[in-house]
Amino acid sequence: MKNMDFLCIFALPMAATKDILLENIRSGAPLSLGDRVRLTLFLCGPAILAQLASVLLEFIDAAMVGSLGAGPAASIGLVSTSTWLCSGFCIALSQGFSVQVAHRIGAGDFAGARAVLRQGLTVVTAFSMLLGIAAASISGLLPGWLGGEAAICGDASAYFRTYSLFLPAMQLGFFCSNMLQCSGEMKLPSILYILMCILDVIFNFFLIFSTREVSLAGLSFMMPGAGMGVRGAALGTGIAEALGALAGLYFLLLRRKDLAIVHEKGSFLPDRYCMGKAWSITGPLWLQNVVMRGAYVASTLIVAPLGAVAIAANSFAIIAESFCYMPGYGTADAATTLVGQSLGAGRKDLARGFTRVTVSLGTGMMVALAVVMYFAAEAIMGLLSSDPEVVALGARCLRLEAFAEAGYAISIVAGGCCTGAGDTKVPTAMNFVSIWLARIGLAVILTPHLGLMGYWIAMCIELNVRGILYLIRIRGTRWMDHKLIGEESR
């Protein structure tokens, strides 16, 4: 990096500089290494905050429910992989449309971007309602299918049923966030997620716990509460997500100048071309979701026989680790936008430059947090559970997983670059080989002999294998050859 580039990374006001640099992508103006680093930091900073807020939603639920004991915590942990499966379908569907919007914005085709937005809004709303109904209908049977103990199945069913009813709100929240981010607006989604966290804390405080006596500043008074336990956690989060989705829709459809559709006539009915391009992205991502989340469900079957302590420790350790990889996912969101807009503008060289920058930054941040996670493992777990057995076992898992964060970071950010290019088929195949052969295959062998640590050893090995596969993929150029818009859009 040139010295002058390095010194001026933060020299200009953030908002003005970001808009200028994004316009330079569309106009064909050159962007130096310093410009690419600067723009990546401007975009990934708010995206990381959004990821942090999203993780905090899970952390808050887990910590509040964890205070009730290992049983309620295990009931949420039992169905957590199934909730990830549902949310994965919602995220993938949103990306099928948001990546198209990123390419059209990069090509300067804002009318086409708004047309994709309208069609996407119709499709994601209809899909999420159907998914919510389907998920709610199996909520009573799911914990038994996953091998849960009878003592926790009732709470697990109640949690998943309540979660299912709010899937449309979650879907719309993902859709608004992805659309805003692909246009270069990263700050607003992070603000909305932070507000959702605050609301989640408030709702959970009154919904999870029963009416109890509270002492504050020497004064004692009765604090009202619904006493809904784990179902209250799902309800509180769902209400917070619904309010966040409404706010997101308001800003996306009415206030965002380049995407606002309120003053423009256009059809909300999906057309063949838009749906075809959306399916070329979403279809493989859905398969990838089944491959990945299906493996997580399989891992639940492997871990469930180990008992409530192991289930709770596994669930809490995964949530705790998520603080380590949130910079990776935030940087991946920025990478999807930057690569998508660069390729929409017909600039493969710039897309490759952003790939190098985002993968390097994301990996560096996750490795730094992995060091913190290693040394603070017990303290982190102590925030989630008061059970000493759960804390000790979870801390051992976190220390082991610290050695996988570099490979995991590469796969996360490189995956965001591939998604921005519309390259989802080959990554899906790579993820299948990695997670089913390396992780599940090794876990089946190691877990019966080493307990929960056997599963986490398998996970650590697999994440490093996945990182190597993604490095090999992005070294070439074929992943950037997917055409999502016609030449007339440029």
pLDDT digits (tens, 9 = 90+) for 183-202: 988 889 888 888 888 898 88
Instruction: Look at the chain and report how many structural domains it folds into.
Output: 1
Question: Minimal CA–CA distance to 182: which of 45, 48, 339, 309?
Answer: 339
DSSP of 410-446: HHHHHHHHHHHTT--HHHHHHHHIIIIIIIIHHHHHH
- β-bridge pairing 219-226 and 210-216: antiparallel
Distance of CA 234 to the CA centre of its chain: 18
Q: How many angstroms separate the CA atoms of 364 and 353, rounded?
A: 17
pLDDT digits (tens, 9 = 90+) for 430-472: 999 999 999 999 999 999 999 999 999 999 999 999 999 999 9
The 8-class DSSP code of residue 96 comes to H
Question: Would residue 4 count as lying in a domain?
Answer: no
HSE-up of residue 465 (Cα within 13 Å, Cβ side): 17
Question: Minimal CA–CA distance to 81: which of 302, 272, 284?
Answer: 302
Question: Would residue 1 count as lying in a domain?
Answer: no
Question: Would residue 54 count as lying in a domain?
Answer: yes
Q: Match 């996407």 to its residue by tokens.
A: 120
Q: Match 């075809």 to its residue by tokens.
A: 276
The pLDDT > 70 percentage for the chain reads: 94
Q: In the chain, what is the straight-line distance between the N-terminal and C-terminal CA atoms, in Å?
A: 31
3-class secondary-structure state, position 8: coil
Q: Is the pLDDT of residue 28 over 60?
A: yes
Statement: the pTM of the whole predicted model exceeds 0.85: no
Question: Would residue 211 count as lying in a domain?
Answer: yes
Question: Would residue 208 count as lying in a domain?
Answer: yes
Residue span of the structural domain in which 413 resides: 36-489
Q: Is the pLDDT of residue 269 over 90?
A: yes
* Cβ atoms 351, 339 nearer than 8 A: yes
**CB-based burial label for 11 (10 Å; 0-12, 13-18, 19+):** exposed
Question: Would residue 216 count as lying in a domain?
Answer: yes
Residue type, 422: G
User: For residue 61, what pLDDT is reported?
Assistant: 67
* Cβ atoms 101, 252 nearer than 8 A: no
The 8-class DSSP code of residue 93 comes to H
User: For residue 10, what pLDDT is reported?
Assistant: 43
Q: What is the mean pLDDT of residues 88-100?
A: 94
Q: Is the pLDDT of residue 220 over 90?
A: no
